Amino acid sequence: YFPRELFGWYAVLIKSSDLPAINQELSTIFNELWRLDVNRMTPGIDYTISVQGRASFVSQGSHVVQDHASQPLFSNVNESKLRNITTFSRFMTLLDNYERSTGMTERVTADELTEMSLFLDAILETQVMKRAHQYLVRKGQSSSDLRLFKNQLNLIWFHLYHRQRNTGLDSCGFEHVFVGETKSGTEIIGFHNWVQFYLQEKSRHLDYKGYKTRVQDLPDQDDHVLNLQFSWHGVVKPAGSAFIGTSPEFEMAVFTIVFLMSTERSTTVVVNIDQCQMELVVVRHGRSLGTAYPKLLSSNSRHVSQHAR
């Protein structure tokens, strides 16, 4: 005999044990950064996306993929607004500074060093990065000296290293996460940024194939994180992910915090940001960033209603 009134609680306990443990502290600071992100683009106003069909399974390295999206992901983007926001415009100047293929030595010019410095200066002036800096200082992870914090960001994001063995310095965190790379001409690695996605789609180097998600959780045009499938220069990314509409300072602040708050080689935290529940994955490469990306777990506060049931 099992009392009926206990059965409901038992079911809730079983259900809640399946749910990921939310990092409440990081959720709190990230929502604060979210509210401070005045440069974030507004869906339906500053840009419009069309998620279309669910992408099918594709094995890594395959070039054959069914297209479940006949139209581009981005129907339109207010590009003039993007280019008039300092952090976005300086971010975009960095996107053509890198060799797409790993194994190709990166040569950084004096002009490119200046572009990196100006970009870091611009994000350090935003309320988002000021609050992130304040948090990291309080946690003992960063110096209160702005110049030293800028150097720390430079080391994490722009320091060149070997991603492929027996080659020159061929990669850095910024290139991998925001620009994207190809490996052996058969695999897309990194490439987790919506602005680069839009620009590459616009220039017809990239073809969106459809969204990736669990059956019960359909994305919509207001979602600020998407899991997606695409091809780039003919190479397929079976499952990728990106924040959508967010500013570069927001993404760098969030991933920098996760990077500095852990000493593990690979860190995964589960957070609620705005209406989305997501995993944030950060992998280090020594004292620099190897990769960082969001992975949407549920959107439109569906995880909240699941808790309430």
Nearest to 245 by CA among 190, 294, 292: 294
What residues does 277 pair with on adjacent strands?
272, 298
Catalytic residue among 192, 224, 285, 303: 192
Q: For the chain, where are the alpha helices, taking DSSP H only?
A: 4-18, 24-36, 79-84, 86-94, 110-124, 127-138, 146-158, 173-174, 194-202, 248-260, 302-308
CA distances, 53 to each of 13, 28, 186, 219 (Å)? 35, 33, 24, 10
68 annotated active-site: no
Catalytic residue among 176, 212, 224, 303: 176
183 annotated active-site: no
No. of helices (H) and no. of strands (E), the chain: 11, 10
Give the C-alpha separation, 107 to 170, whole Å.
9
CA distances, 184 to each of 55, 228, 252 (Å)? 24, 22, 28
* Angle, alpha carbons 114-82-86 (nearest 5°): 35
63 annotated active-site: no
Catalytic residue among 209, 212, 224, 237: 237
Catalytic positions are: 176, 192, 237
